[in-house]
Amino acid sequence: LAKTTQPISMDSYEGQEVNITCSHNNIATNDYITWYQQFPSQGPRFIIQGYKTKVTNEVASLFIPADRKSSTLSLPRVSLSDTAVYYCLVGDGGGADGLTFGKGTHLIIQP
Amino acid sequence: DTGVSQDPRHKITKRGQNVTFRCDPISEHNRLYWYRQTLGQGPEFLTYFQNEAQLEKSRLLSDRFSAERPKGSFSTLEIQRTEQGDSAMYLCASSRDRGPDRYEQYFGPGTRLTVT
């Protein structure tokens, strides 16, 4: 069971690039890395998913080094509305082992 | 289809009463998940279904909790003899079971349970 470790909280300012790193030292060969965003009183929302190297979509980039023991979610030019909790999950999509959210990283964006 | 829906959105009950929540997943999704979330914590996995089959249950799911997904469509989560510790947000999510987007869960708005 791949366990993840993230910073509890981070602060940044509008317009900055924010990088949130997740450690997953015992990631398995078949595991993918998935990130979710959650606002208060809402369910989590999928952001991005990757297996290795770099993945980019319209809202974020995900950087995964060759050893895959960590991953970094990059949010370009953040705004106040990016204030949320961000969760990193690791699993192979085949069962509940990839469904552990942890406490996530509370990102606070200031003006 | 507009997404995952849950009903009710809020439920207040007295300790010892039974409650039932409903989740309607995205129609083409054959996986359905239940989570529980308390203040300041991430969602905790409770159970999940592949079509109508309940494949895994967390140790958090005591014998007072039961979930069903008849015909592989909507799902219900019942809590019997509620306790104050059951107060939480109950989240439902759905996803496909294959393909590159099988890791992408779509969450409903949740049902907030308060046990008094």
Would you say residue A1 has pLDDT above 60? no
Cis ω before B8 (30° cut-off from 0): yes
> Which residue is closest to B101 within chain A, CA to CA?
A49
Task: State whether A46 and B105 contact (CB < 8 Å).
Answer: yes
Rounded Cα gap, residues A90 and B41, in angstroms: 18
Shortest distance between the Cα of B5 and any Cα of chain A, in A, equals 11
pLDDT for res B52: 92
Per the CB < 8 A criterion, the answer to whether B87 and B79 are in contact is: no
Q: What residues of B are in contact with residue A64 (Cβ under 8 Å)?
A: none
> Which residue is closest to A48 within chain B, CA to CA?
B104
Banded pLDDT at A33 (limits 50, 70, 90): very high
What's the average pLDDT block by block, 10 residues per block, for chain B (116 residues)?
Answer: 89 98 94 94 92 86 92 94 96 88 89 98
Would you say residue A95 has pLDDT above 90? no
How do residues A50-79 score in pLDDT, each as one tens digit?
999 999 999 999 999 999 999 999 999 999
Q: B70: helix, coil or strand?
A: helix
**The pair of three-digit structure tokens given for residue A108, joined into one six-digit string:** 């606070």
Task: State whether B93 and A43 contact (CB < 8 Å).
Answer: yes
Would you say residue A10 has pLDDT above 60? yes
pLDDT for res B46: 93
Q: Contacts by A102-105 with C-beta closer than 8 Å and gap 24+?
A: A102/A4, A102/A5, A102/A6, A102/B42, A103/A6, A103/A8, A103/B40, A103/B41, A103/B42, A104/A6, A104/A38, A104/B42, A105/A6, A105/A7, A105/A8, A105/A9, A105/A10, A105/A20
Nearest CB neighbour to B42, from listed A46, A98, A103 = A103
Measure Cα distances from A83 to A10, A78, A111, B55 in Å: 10, 9, 11, 35
pLDDT for res B83: 96
Neighbours of B27 (CB within 10 A): 9
pLDDT for res A81: 96
Task: State whether B45 and A96 contact (CB < 8 Å).
Answer: yes
Count Cβ–Cβ pairs < 8 Å, chain A vs chain B: 57
Banded pLDDT at A97 (limits 50, 70, 90): low
Q: What percent of chain A has pLDDT over 90?
A: 80
